Structure 1
Amino acid sequence: MQYTIEIDQELCTGCRRCSDVCPVGAIDGPEGMAVDINYDKCCFCGQCVQVCSAYQEYKSETSAPREAKLTDRGLLESVKEPLFAAHNMGHAKKVWEALKNPAVVTMVQCAPAVRVGLAEDFGMDSGELVDGKMVTALRKLGFNRVYDTNFTADLTIMEEGSELIKRIQDNGVLPMFTSCCPAWVKFVEQEHYDLQANLSTCKSPQQMAGALFKTYGAQVDKTDPKKIVSVSVMPCTAKKFEASRPEMTASGSPDVDLVLTTRELANLIKHAGIDFRNLEPGQPDSVLGAYTGAGHIFGVTGGVMEAALRTGYELITGKALDDINIVNVRHSEGIKRATIQVGDLTVKVVVVAGLANAAPILEEIKNGTADFHFVEVMACPQGCISGGGQPKVLLENKRKDVYASRMASMYKHDKELPLRKSHDNPEVNKLYKDFLGKPLGHKSHELLHTHYIRRG
């Protein structure tokens, strides 16, 4: 059986860097020997993949043939990078086959953090924003429709913000947890199922987009949904697991068929011989492609919280924020608490960066001392920009600077965009008018919300 994350026993040296970084204690083994993953604990965040330094070189005579390892990992035969012991299972080969199949219609989405990480795999500066080049590259690869996960990040805010307001007004289960991070969701299902009702019922932006590709997108394009291959490009290895969840089939089939990491997209672009550095910028397709700054900052820790507050404030008060930059929820390391005055309502929020830091917050909820309404948890230490599927930071002393560059780029793009609040996204408003009806309505509930199961 293949899992989302695996450790190649032949390549592992037992250095235990992966064990040290694992936020849930899922990796262990005898001293100095190859380690194993306990899949009852693993949440597939991929931080082990990020730090692993044991590898097989491009040409190696000391281990199993490289070609066999590439095939086993789902990678393209053209990949020249070292193969590391800790790795995620790839979908690049399957995506390449879909792109060459004239009988299918390929639709692709890219998460916010991908566009500030992808450049690094082409020798460009860390954090360089390449959103336009990325769109052009996807079109050159042959995708029929190039949409954007940022669009459904805006949509998530409309649904999740409305859900939070409803819970506060109706004395619902509080605090409400964000549900964008699949590693965090899996962790709650495994270790704290008694708190599953605290999770927002909203699907992640990836899964919302997939459900819409095969319903609204198919309707607009006059395309048979059965012919659509829905692809996502994510900074996150746990997104592969999320897409495989049996409840993620609201469209009548898997809402997301294949998930690429940022690294896998880079490999596809290289495989196709595309000169990425010299591409002219392109724009995503309309209908499911426009986005605001609020949708974009989902890629950094604290971003979902800030986006929700930007919209929630106006939904509750009917007034615009004096300052749209809610800096007291940004740049979280560990746990950050903030109190926001929203009209007559005092909203208390918590931002947790890194799954290992969630324990004190969960304990407060369980012992009845929690006085906050909304909690954002991201499994990776700086949010999605530091996800397990991002380009590897090979030098540990450079990691902090690379993450800081990616984060600065995220906020710079937000600041420069003409629209910075999710409820101002004209395509989201058109989606509700033409298809969904209203946030938390019947159609939204059917396609955009989910339920959770006990694991472990």
Structure 2
Amino acid sequence: MANVTLTINGKEITVPAGTTILDAAKEAGFFIPTLCHEPSNPGYGGCRICVVDVKGARALVASCCAEAANGMVVETESQAVIEARKTIIELMLANHPTDCLTCDQNGDCRLQDYAYRYDVKRSGFEGEKHNYPIDDSNPYIVRDMNKCILCGRCVRTCEQVQDRQVINFAFRGFNTKVAPAMDTNLAESACVSCARCLVVCPVGALTYKNLAGKARTYEIRKEPVTCTFCDAGCQFDLNYKGNKVIGVTAREPGEGRPLCLKGRLGLELLYADKPLTPMLKKDDQYVEVSWTEALGMEGVLKKLDELKE
């Protein structure tokens, strides 16, 4: 494969042709912030916070979409770039709750991290704010669309699963939001609570209901575990606070994506100090069920009973 050589912040670097500026900068050891970018599903370029200054370009360039080229000269932290990033953060904060002290995502929120990095203490933009009701209809997932930054990561990861595609962008302009079909709540949608969307959300718009109030993000230690309830071998994380498992969550992108609720519930039963009470949807309503039913073991137990007879 052919290579290209470019200069990033005065450092010359050679990368394979087709490499994005973002990946080239990362390889060279330079930081570029991202919100909508997802390495396993790249090329979206919606949030524009990853813009860089390319010599000769008419405007700042989205580094997650633009390919590196021979002779390209790039600055990742020029004055124009920093001002653009500050403005983008201010625009997001203009319609974002400021409850960071009590947010479950505090300490693991990219918007919070970038506001700190670029010294954005408050938004300079005034105007109408959203006041969406919090959707806690799903027994496992809480959706707070007031905190959503419309990065689209949840939409794209849900689309990756065949026949899933539960959520998408709805409405236009200021009223744009991420929602299931017909703008219903999550419990009334076709969501199977696999939690793929939660692991890619960069802010606190999507959180695990069972982990709410149990620990701050910096108190949690994660250890990988492989689900053995089927031969897919999905990867999850055991979430420890001290020596106790307080929950089971999806793994980071590229490290294994869970595709079913059964595996996560089963691992909760095996490892958690206080496992969840399983719930399944029956007649469009979530109801508590036994672990045997939740894990699909009723047929197996019935067969064993028949063999005993």
Query: How would you bin the TM-score normalised by the shorter chain?
Result: 0.3 to 0.5
Structure with the bigger percentage of strand: 2
Q: TM-score, normalised by structure 1?
A: 0.26
- Structure having the higher Rg: 2
Structure with the bigger percentage of helix: 1
Identify the structure with bigger relative contact order (alpha carbons < 8 Å, sequence gap 6+).
1
Q: TM-score, normalised by structure 2?
A: 0.34
